[in-house]
Amino acid sequence: MKTPRELHVESHDPAVPEAYAAFMRTGWGDRELDLPRQPVADRAAERRATLASMFPGEQIVLPAGTFKVRANDTDYKFRSDTAHTYFSGNQTSDAVLVLEDGEAVLYARPRSSRDTDEFFRDRQYGELWAGRRPSLHELSSSLGIECRHIDRLQDALTSNGTAKTRVLRGVSAEVDRMVAADESLDADLQRVVGELRLIKDDWEIAELQEACDITTLGFEDCVREWRQVLAYGERWIEGTFHRRARAMGND
């Protein structure tokens, strides 16, 4: 039986009476979305196949990483590990991509259910605090990959028999603790992953070009607004560029 997950709350958060908690858990619509398959899904599958072919019969573990504390109860904005996203397309926190015997499984943390307090009390994962996270179904349909709950990861990493396990180290301390380190195996995985990412296909080059074009538009916006610096200072230019990044980019 699983123990309840510890909530990310602060000492100054008010206590929640059981009657209120019971009320908050009822009456919510929790509709699954049938998300379209992302353009990166097919390319990520090809990348996984290439990586797996270089380590036949072995288990490969690529974590996304988790939140990093900025100050007290404030985290930096999450950015998934580049290698993890390159091979999975996933950008949610705490996920782990596992490749084994030519099969790929994304172990992910889905959005909170409505049968615990997490969705309305947890500052890090609660939907009312941090916004909606995708469900396992939504991740699977959009990324074209089998998805399982992150709670099943430990069993997957310890039930692979005699197969070698390679882990991309230094991304997730929790994952690093789950598998005994082998410097030669893990270093070789890191090298191969880096070399594969160096080679850009036509789609990646087009994405890079689009990012450059959007950045150019952002600088042009700033030049047009330059006179406002005298009145409002650097914050005006920062906001001007950030608006373009939010509207057209991936910020």
Residues 24 and 85 in one domain: yes
In a domain, 2, yes or no: no
Residues 23 and 40 in one domain: yes
Residues 27 and 137 in one domain: yes
Residue type, 169: R
Residue type, 42: D
Q: Is the distance from CB of 67 to CB of 78 less than 8 angstroms? A: yes
Distant-in-sequence, close-in-space partners of 59: CB < 8 Å, separation ≥ 6 = 98, 99, 100, 157, 160, 163, 164, 165, 166
pTM: 0.87
Residues 128 and 177 in one domain: yes
In a domain, 90, yes or no: yes
Residue type, 199: I
In a domain, 3, yes or no: no
Residues 186 and 210 in one domain: no
User: Residue 24's domain is classified under what CATH number?
Assistant: 3.40.350.10
In a domain, 248, yes or no: yes
In a domain, 12, yes or no: no
Tell me: the pLDDT tens digits for 138-182?
Answer: 999 999 999 999 999 999 998 877 679 999 999 999 999 999 999
Residues 85 and 159 in one domain: yes
Q: Is the distance from CB of 66 to CB of 58 less than 8 angstroms? A: no
| DSSP tag of 227 | G
Q: Longest Cα pair distance anywhere in the chain, in angstroms?
A: 67
In a domain, 52, yes or no: yes
Domain extent at residue 216: 200-251
In a domain, 62, yes or no: yes
Q: Is the distance from CB of 136 to CB of 148 less than 8 angstroms? A: yes
Residues 243 and 136 in one domain: no
In a domain, 41, yes or no: yes
Residue 62's CB is within 10 A of a number of other CB atoms, namely 29
The helix/strand/coil state of 65 is coil
Residues 171 and 57 in one domain: yes
What CA–CA distance (Å, rounded) separates 108 from 24?
25
Into how many domains does the chain fold?
2
Q: Is the distance from CB of 210 to CB of 204 less than 8 angstroms? A: no
Residues 151 and 42 in one domain: yes
Residues 110 and 176 in one domain: yes
Residues 170 and 228 in one domain: no
The helix/strand/coil state of 63 is strand
Residues 135 and 238 in one domain: no
The helix/strand/coil state of 97 is strand
Query: Using CA of residue 54, residue 148, residue 133, residue 175, what is the dihedral sign?
Result: negative
What CA–CA distance (Å, rounded) separates 55 from 103?
13
Q: Spell out the per-residue pLDDT of the chain, length 251, in tens.
A: 344 567 877 766 777 888 988 888 888 876 788 899 999 999 999 999 999 999 999 999 999 999 998 987 788 989 999 999 999 999 999 999 999 988 999 999 998 888 788 888 888 888 888 888 999 999 999 999 999 999 999 999 988 776 799 999 999 999 999 999 999 999 999 999 999 999 999 999 999 999 999 999 999 999 999 999 999 999 999 999 999 999 998 76
